[in-house]
Amino acid sequence: MVVVQGDALAGAHGDSGARRTYAHREIMEIMSGLMLALLTSMISTSVVATALPTIVGEFGAQDQLSWVASATLLTMTASTPLWGKLSDLFGRKRMFQLALGLFVAASMIAGLSQNMGTLIAARAVQGLGTGGLAALTQVILGDVVEPRERGRYSGYIGAVFGVSTVGGPLLGGFLVDTSWLGWRWCFYVCVPLAIVAFAVIQRVLRLDHEAREARIDWWGAFTLTGGASALMLMLSFGGHEFEWNSPWAYGLGAAAAILFGLSVVAERRAADPILPPRLFRDRTFVLAGTASLLVGLSMFGVMVYLPQYLQIVKGMSPTMSGIMTTPLVVSLLVSSIASGRVVTRTGRWKVFPAAGLLLVAIGTALLSLLHTDSSRLVIGADIAILGVGLGLSMQVLILAAQNASHPRDMAVTTSGISFFRNLGGSVGVAALGAVLTNRVRDEITGMLAASRVPVPPGGGLTLGTPEAIGHLPPALQHIVVEAFTRAMQSVFLAGLPAAVLGFLAVLFLRELPLRSARTVEAKPE
């Protein structure tokens, strides 16, 4: 065994380790830029949710609604592993600013869009920028803060993530409802903040980077991103754009399996792989990645579909449904910051993701029991439990993987864990969406047949916005609300196994002591 100093590795591996120790004031200056950039990018992925009905209505393209939401999620997930590798080759600061620039340019184009094609393309580029900002924020934090101290700062990032994810729809509803602003400001509103973040990063972020020959693993990039893209497309559009039992579904599924299989071959042969195979020999990386994937599945699944319950079943306005998610934001914020500080003070971390995943499972199970008459107090308590669990889990899992990694693998480890979490979120949104769509359709069909309620012309019932559902005849409205209630119970129940499996994955993690200096034991290869 030999002990290798991170600074010694910096010259050989670019800026994978900082060359000096950063004071708390300097770290907080860097964190201000990182958090501002992360806040603006993450809000952009959620703020458009409440604006979508207005956008597609203006363009007359209701059948393309899902593409606007999925384009960003797909490119964000698929590109995440690339940003860590590119930052190793060309420098953290340069790549972070490139991601921020892509995000700003795409936001402006999205706001100026005059047709759905332009908007969807802009949203896809937004996803590229968002993926880079999300991954590189964690990488840069790993560069400037030792693992033992990282908990206190990673808690802030977790809080920003939660606030932006839940606050976005509320902001979107306000912008759409404000006559002198409108839906285009859902894209413009983040631009000034992103420009400020760019300036802050330019001023305060100074990481040493020694230029070296760029060896980009193009074959690995193609197979990884292609496999993720094929999987996203199959899960996002299966069941409504095309049947599950169809050539499209089988073709995309086969393409994903083949490309992921080829990525294993590509990464084994590449001189400088995007996801080095040695990472998957690390028990901590594998288990933390698995747990992160399952956390993402539970988190995104609940956060995306909870407003459906609040607006359709409980009849709340978009603004009120956003307010009802406040317990989730507050509990996630407090638990994320508090757990980070305790980790820094004690050096013990395993108890937090273990307790967090257990609480996520409990919160998800409680949400599956909600019904049409559930009180706001009960709803708030259930989602608060979920928020505490997410706050205890998300950032500590990244910290655990970073702590176990060699300094040369800091970027690929961090981007790898982020990739698995985003992949889990994408799978969760798509899979739980399929559960919701199929269950609502089946329940409405069954209840219409059993009740003999007259159906609209054409023999079917077309579901519109929550406001439109509220104006249906009482008998039809009752059927729709009851169908959504049962479907939402199934959605939350379907997310429960993921939380339980994530809890089991965390139990098998070894609690390695957090390093108080940037050192690592390098095993002979």
CATH of the domain at 436: 1.20.1250.20
Do residue 184 and residue 279 come from a single domain?
Answer: no
Overall domain count for the chain? 2
Do residue 470 and residue 371 come from a single domain?
Answer: yes
Other C-beta atoms lying within 10 Å of the C-beta of residue 522: 14
Listed in sequence order, the residues at least 6 apart from 335 whose beta carbon sits closer than 8 Å to its beta carbon are 356, 387, 388, 389, 390, 391, 392
Query: What is the reported pLDDT for 385?
Result: 93
Per the domain annotation, does 234 fall within a domain? no
- CA-based end-to-end distance of the chain: 11
Per the domain annotation, does 253 fall within a domain? no
Per the domain annotation, does 257 fall within a domain? no
* Domain edge (last residue) among 192, 209, 226: 209
Do residue 192 and residue 322 come from a single domain?
Answer: no
Range of the structural domain that residue 177 is part of: 1-209
Do residue 322 and residue 440 come from a single domain?
Answer: yes
Per the domain annotation, does 417 fall within a domain? yes
Per the domain annotation, does 1 fall within a domain? yes
Query: What is the reported pLDDT for 522?
Result: 41
Do residue 299 and residue 417 come from a single domain?
Answer: yes
- Where b means 16+ CB within 10 Å and e means fewer, 485-503 reads bbbbbbbbebbbebbbbbb
- Please, are residues 39 and 167 in contact by the beta-carbon 8 Å criterion? no
- Please, are residues 489 and 368 in contact by the beta-carbon 8 Å criterion? yes
DSSP secondary structure letters along 167-220: HHHHHHHHHHH-TTT-TTHHHHTTHHHHHHHHHHHHHH-------------HHH
Per the domain annotation, does 256 fall within a domain? no
For the chain (525 residues), the mean pLDDT of every run of 10, in chain order, is: 32 41 76 81 73 69 61 76 78 87 91 87 88 82 73 70 69 77 85 84 71 66 80 72 84 91 85 80 89 82 75 77 78 84 84 92 90 88 90 84 79 79 76 78 79 60 63 77 86 88 91 62 41
Do residue 420 and residue 337 come from a single domain?
Answer: yes
* Domain edge (last residue) among 160, 191, 209: 209
Do residue 328 and residue 454 come from a single domain?
Answer: yes
* Domain edge (last residue) among 153, 180, 209: 209
Do residue 282 and residue 191 come from a single domain?
Answer: no
Do residue 277 and residue 201 come from a single domain?
Answer: no
Do residue 64 and residue 190 come from a single domain?
Answer: yes
Per the domain annotation, does 202 fall within a domain? yes
Structure tokens at 375: 């009180």
Do residue 143 and residue 283 come from a single domain?
Answer: no
Do residue 99 and residue 184 come from a single domain?
Answer: yes
Per the domain annotation, does 156 fall within a domain? yes
Query: What is the reported pLDDT for 225?
Result: 75
